[in-house]
Amino acid sequence: MVNEDPASSPQPHKRRQRYSGKNPRRFEDKYKEHGGDAETVAKVIAGGKTPAGTHRPIMVAEVIAVLAPKPGDLAVDCTLGYGGHAQEILARISPGGKLIGLDADPIELPKTEARLRTLGFDETVFIACRSNFAGLPQILAAQNMTGADVILADLGVSSMQIDDPGRGFSVKFDGPLDMRMNPQRGQPASAVLEKIKPDALRQMLADFSDEPHAAQLAEALAGKKFSSTRPLADAVRAVLPRAGRGDYDPTVRRVFQALRIAVNDEFSALDAFLRNLPACLKPGGRVAILSFHSGEDRRVKKSFEANHRDGIYSDIAREVIRPTPAEQQSNLRSAPAKLRWAQRTQ
């Protein structure tokens, strides 16, 4: 039989061109696992890293233990990301349960929705919603829901966002200095830096990443035009002698973190979320929050303690819960994680 459709005729197998050097600078070379080669993916995971285009959920067992999702529960994952936690919660709330997954990111959300659908979670059990979690009360109202049994927020950015140089979060690879979780809203980091005055930048670096050299950095960076991430990283290194080893420079990371928090107005969203939380939980409902730096954890701790004192939460985590040493070793990105939980009074 002659096959006349060129799209379906067998193509000669082409080997993917391999990078032959030792220190790849290009994202595509470094992240060969993008191609889905199982051997490379296994090697990446064994090295404590995350295969590109995926996200390894953090402290899953601990999150499930504190949230205790059960069949029939209404759950909200406020930071759906790759859907790693959502997938585990979904497996425990059926039959009869439903999970609403929110994410601010219009690029990754449809991919995660499609991934969870292929795992069998249809619209009767899982709804994906592109939204900021600051608006959780409105989202529940739109779904005719008065409150949730379990709520999860795993703060910050996903590995997919960090690892994609085109999003501008990457310290390692050059890309446009953007950093918006939702690139359709707000201003890219380049515009924020170009407009900001030294005093405001100093404050931002001190408040959002506890930067010890905030004044010195602010003087050098405020009002400057950086169209991509690498020149910014180089400018930071020019101000301060490099403190870290290899790729890791803590000052560069703190500058990037502060900018990302500012660009996405992350603390305002977290404060609104924490204020709204009690009204979004059913009596007896539980919330778990994973945070990744002191500015986030301070806010969560203060809010939980204040609501506990006022009798709004019947119980809260007395101590912060940390990833096991084994998890920290097997997933380097889990190392700074801190988990806190609270339960609404019956």
d(CA 104, CA 93): 24
Stretch that binds ligand SAM, among 126-134, 164-172, 245-253, 320-328 (CB under 6 A): 126-134
Report 187-246 residues binding ligand SAM (CB under 6 A): none
Which listed residue (33, 52, 67, 85) binds ligand SAM by CB under 6 A? Answer: 85
Nearest distance, CB of residue 20 and ligand SAM, angstroms = 33
Helix (H) or strand (E) holding 343: strand 338-344
Q: Does 81 bind ligand SAM (CB under 6 A)?
A: yes
Q: Does 157 bind ligand SAM (CB under 6 A)?
A: yes
* Comparison of 32 and 85: residue with beta carbon closer to ligand SAM: 85
CA-based nearest residue to 257, from 234, 228, 233, 225 = 233
Q: Does 59 bind ligand SAM (CB under 6 A)?
A: no
Q: Does 79 bind ligand SAM (CB under 6 A)?
A: yes
CA-based nearest residue to 108, from 127, 135, 80 = 80
d(CA 322, CA 291): 10
DSSP 170: -
Which listed residue (59, 181, 221, 236) binds ligand SAM by CB under 6 A? Answer: 181
Cα dihedral 23, 25, 28, 30 sign: positive
Q: Does 262 bind ligand SAM (CB under 6 A)?
A: no
d(CA 153, CA 133): 9
d(CA 297, CA 191): 28
Question: Can you say whether residue 144 is alpha, beta or left, with left for phi > 0 and alpha for psi between -120 and 50 degrees?
Answer: left
Stretch that binds ligand SAM, among 7-15, 37-45, 151-159, 220-228 (CB under 6 A): 151-159
Largest CA-CA distance found in the chain, in angstroms, rounded? 78
Stretch that binds ligand SAM, among 154-162, 191-199, 252-260, 299-307 (CB under 6 A): 154-162
* Comparison of 79 and 229: residue with beta carbon closer to ligand SAM: 79
Adjacent-strand bridge partners of 291 = 338
Q: Does 333 bind ligand SAM (CB under 6 A)?
A: no
Which listed residue (83, 175, 285, 295) binds ligand SAM by CB under 6 A? Answer: 83
Q: Note the residues at the interface with ligand SAM (CB under 6 A).
A: 55, 57, 79, 81-85, 102-105, 108, 132-134, 154, 156-158, 181, 269
